A and B are shown apart, each in its own frame.
Chain A
């Protein structure tokens, strides 16, 4: 993994840690109840070994280029294979254990770490997965394609979520634009790998035990057994085109001059003028908005991405509730 998302203690302001903590806790409380309905008393052992699988998958190195390697994040994969409620619990368990037992991520940072690495990827991934399923054909290749797009998108959504939290609770004088541009830019490329690997894993599981893919529970047995018709090459080309598109869009507002921004800010003493601005009293940490030469623009970006994020994750939460009916889960 190029960018570690396991933020340590004190990385964001305590107020953001507290608010995200409360948000994560309330979603998890619902998840504990919902997943119990979903799995019954099978919940504990099955979710436990699934958590071990996600943990193991995060430790496995996949080749990226010329011998370098990255690893899977697994949020979208967990949602697609296990359903969002069980998925979010499983990924949360992994994140919490990494913090408590492995000191990988701070305990007081758990609120935003769980939000960014478990809740946003599973529910956001589930929502994107559903939208793609609606467009793509209702067969195995449709599920595989949707898995890939969902997995790639969730990595970017997580990066956006982190940048937004930075806007509200930055602990260092780095502007929101810079963090947003860097995080989203890097994670677009990480997303390609995540998309490819998730799609391939889902494709394998569909080929052997299609009943284990929660996201394909609505398919008829005939449709399930349709082998993926999307070849690897068109998929890679499509993924690269899609991510290039996102990268271009991102680079439009991140447009290149963080260094220049800092210089302008230093030269013209933005630190002082920002205080006279109405924003000084707002909820935004002064760090994140300080030194932005176009506050309207970057706040618009923050607002738009925040609304998108909330809509996607909210849709995931809502649609997962609807789809909770026990589908076709034949006993093995």
Chain B
């Protein structure tokens, strides 16, 4: 998980008013998806194409003034897979090569490179988008991209109540700890599981109350969203710039 206890999404957004921040969210989402798709289909041998991708992302990060340290911390989610990739050169069969005295599989090295490069680029691109777009804008963008309104609604409710529910659970845990219950073995899990069950009941009842309150305020199945940011062709061009660079890089290295 990207963060421990507490507030999962408070530290996602890096405030700013750069050109990247001001792009309409839907163009950023499309740009992100296009970029990630291109990275995913790039053959692993085209190291140059991956370098171009990395440069495009780096330029975006600089333009958006997203600190590199922030980017690096949030990349923690892919660590388990990088750990897996590191073992691949030792497992692979076929041709072997000698790197600083170690016998490594060529195939395994390529596979490790493939996973590490694609995972890092894909995750960094997603992190850059969430670092420059507040979550409500992101949701408005998704809804303007014709994601079913039910799904957008579910996601926005999830975000609205996530902190609250996590807080509620940590209060229950703290109350347990204050009463000298600090379980260390799975056989002692009953009180925690029971409070999770209680939390579900409370959450559901909260949902019912929210729904009642919304009906009382004239809810008819659609939430009023923020006014759409005006968008033009230039926005699309800008947002698709990293993807375009990636596509050109892929093309250049495929031809040569």
Instruction: With A43-B150, A63-B184, A290-B93 as known contacts, state yes or no: A212 contacts B88, CB within 8 Å.
Output: no
B112 and A196 form a contact (CB under 8 A): no
A:73-120 near B, CB below 8 Å: 81, 89-90, 93-94, 96-97, 99-108
The total of interchain contacts (Cβ-Cβ below 8 angstroms) comes to: 295
A63 and B183 form a contact (CB under 8 A): yes
A:52-72 near B, CB below 8 Å: 52-53, 55-67, 71-72
B91 and A48 form a contact (CB under 8 A): no
Instruction: Verify if A232 is at the interface (C-beta below 8 Å from B).
Output: yes
| A46 to B208 CA separation, bound complex (whole angstroms) | 7
A59 and B5 form a contact (CB under 8 A): yes
Q: How far is the CB of B22 from chain A (nearest CB, A)?
A: 20
Neighbour of B81 across the interface among A11, A99, A208, CB < 8 A: A11
| A196 to B2 CA separation, bound complex (whole angstroms) | 26
A262 and B204 form a contact (CB under 8 A): no
A60 and B196 form a contact (CB under 8 A): yes
A49 and B93 form a contact (CB under 8 A): no
Instruction: Verify if A138 is at the interface (C-beta below 8 Å from B).
Output: no
A9 and B188 form a contact (CB under 8 A): no
Neighbour of A172 across the interface among B75, B111, B219, CB < 8 A: B111
A52 and B118 form a contact (CB under 8 A): no
B157 and A51 form a contact (CB under 8 A): yes
The interface stretch among B123-131, B226-234, B238-246 is: B123-131
Q: How far is the CB of B104 from chain A (nearest CB, A)?
A: 12
Instruction: Verify if B144 is at the interface (C-beta below 8 Å from A).
Output: no
A4 and B126 form a contact (CB under 8 A): no
| A90 to B150 CA separation, bound complex (whole angstroms) | 11
Give the total of A residues in contact with B, Cβ under 8 Å: 87
Instruction: Verify if B60 is at the interface (C-beta below 8 Å from A).
Output: no
Instruction: Verify if B197 is at the interface (C-beta below 8 Å from A).
Output: yes
Q: How far is the CB of B20 from chain A (nearest CB, A)?
A: 17
B9 and A101 form a contact (CB under 8 A): yes
The interface stretch among B37-45, B61-69, B247-255 is: B37-45
Residues of B within 8 A of A11 (CB): 81, 115, 118-119
Neighbour of B153 across the interface among A48, A57, A66, A262, CB < 8 A: A48
Contact with B along A281-294 (1 / 0, CB 8 A): 00000010011000
| A46 to B212 CA separation, bound complex (whole angstroms) | 11
Neighbour of B119 across the interface among A10, A97, A265, A271, CB < 8 A: A10
Contact with A along B6-20 (1 / 0, CB 8 A): 001100100000000
B157 and A48 form a contact (CB under 8 A): yes
A204 and B80 form a contact (CB under 8 A): no
B75 and A200 form a contact (CB under 8 A): no
Name the residue among B77, B127, B158, B164 with the largest chain A CB count within 10 angstroms. Answer: B158
Q: How far is the CB of A92 from chain B (nearest CB, A)?
A: 8
| A71 to B5 CA separation, bound complex (whole angstroms) | 12
Give the total of B residues in contact with A, Cβ under 8 Å: 92
| A102 to B78 CA separation, bound complex (whole angstroms) | 11
B185 and A51 form a contact (CB under 8 A): no
Neighbour of B155 across the interface among A93, A178, A200, CB < 8 A: A93
| A205 to B39 CA separation, bound complex (whole angstroms) | 45
Instruction: Verify if A266 is at the interface (C-beta below 8 Å from B).
Output: yes
A49 and B210 form a contact (CB under 8 A): yes
Q: How far is the CB of A173 from chain B (nearest CB, A)?
A: 4
Contact with B along A277-305 (1 / 0, CB 8 A): 00000000001001100000000000000
Q: How far is the CB of A114 from chain B (nearest CB, A)?
A: 12
B118 and A9 form a contact (CB under 8 A): yes
Instruction: Verify if A135 is at the interface (C-beta below 8 Å from B).
Output: no
B130 and A201 form a contact (CB under 8 A): no
Q: How far is the CB of B94 from chain A (nearest CB, A)?
A: 5
Residues of A within 8 A of B173 (CB): 60
| A266 to B106 CA separation, bound complex (whole angstroms) | 12
Residues of B within 8 A of A307 (CB): none
5 closest pairs, A vs B, by CB? A48-B157, A10-B118, A204-B197, A9-B122, A8-B119
Q: Which residues of A contact B (CB under 8 A)?
A: 3-4, 6-11, 14, 17, 32, 35-36, 41-53, 55-67, 71-72, 81, 89-90, 93-94, 96-97, 99-108, 171-174, 178, 192-193, 196-197, 200-205, 208-209, 212, 232, 236, 262, 265-266, 270-271, 287, 290-291, 332
Q: A52-B157, A62-B192, A93-B158 are in contact. List 5 more A-B contacts (CB 8 A).
A: A32-B148, A45-B207, A47-B154, A53-B203, A56-B166
Q: Which residues of B contact A (CB under 8 A)?
A: 1-2, 5, 8-9, 12, 32-33, 36-37, 39-41, 74-75, 77-78, 80-81, 85, 88, 91-94, 96, 105, 107-108, 111-112, 114-115, 117-119, 121-124, 126-127, 130, 135, 138, 148, 150-151, 153-162, 164-166, 169, 173, 183-190, 192-194, 196-201, 203-208, 210-211, 214, 219-221
